[in-house]
Amino acid sequence: MKKIELEIVALSHSITQTHSYAVVLGEINGLRRLPIVIGGFEAQAIAVALERMSPSRPLTHDLLKNFMMAFNVDLHEVVINDLQEGIFYSKLVCSSANDTVEIDSRTSDALALAVRFGCPIYTYDNILDQAGILMEDDGKTKAAAPVTSETGGSDNLKSLSLEELEGLLTEVLDQEDYIRAIAIRDEIKSRKK
């Protein structure tokens, strides 16, 4: 089967499930999108890596990357290889000087590692056919959806002053709520333009 390369195009609070997030993968040079519901911790891990934030202490996925690098193990690619009863299955394709192995992984963890290693993410046509969404070809550049949390939605942020936003940003960074910090940072940036 031919692999189809994907990229992360959005990370947002899940509308369908409380306390969950959705990561949306988009087909490179294509119109299909693959939404995957993930937990809050994994969403935070992906957001931190996407935004190149530096937490005061390494997150679990940072620790795993550091461990792999210390022992000369490289992550070449992530493959979302199966979908059963609404659950996505993935594998990490890793190599060392002596061997290449495929390691079973939760898809959310695989994506968090893919962002850290900068490796490609793949899936197959049958998975996109089962769970994908076809976007309309309107000729516009597709931008990532805003990252929001239950209490930090972009609508709530618009009512705050720039000074209040900067104070709130400091507060959420101290709480290590990086997903909400991204939304606040983006609102501050849009006002400073």
pLDDT (tens digit, 9 = 90+) per residue, 44-70? 899 889 888 888 888 899 999 999 999
> What's the pTM?
0.72
What one-character-per-residue DSSP string does the chain give?
--EEEEEEEEEEE-SSSTTEEEEEEEETTSSEEEEEEEEHHHHHHHHHHHTT---SS--HHHHHHHHHHHTT-EEEEEEEEEEETTEEEEEEEEE-SS-EEEEEEEHHHHHHHHHHHT--EEEEHHHHHHH-EEPP--SSPPPPPPP--SS--HHHHHTS-HHHHHHHHHHHHHTT-HHHHHHHHHHHHHHH-
The mean per-residue pLDDT over the stretch 171-179 comes to 68
**What does the pLDDT read at residue 134?**
79
The mean per-residue pLDDT over the stretch 94-105 comes to 95
Q: Express each pLDDT in 145-171 by its tens digit.
A: 333 333 334 457 888 888 888 888 778
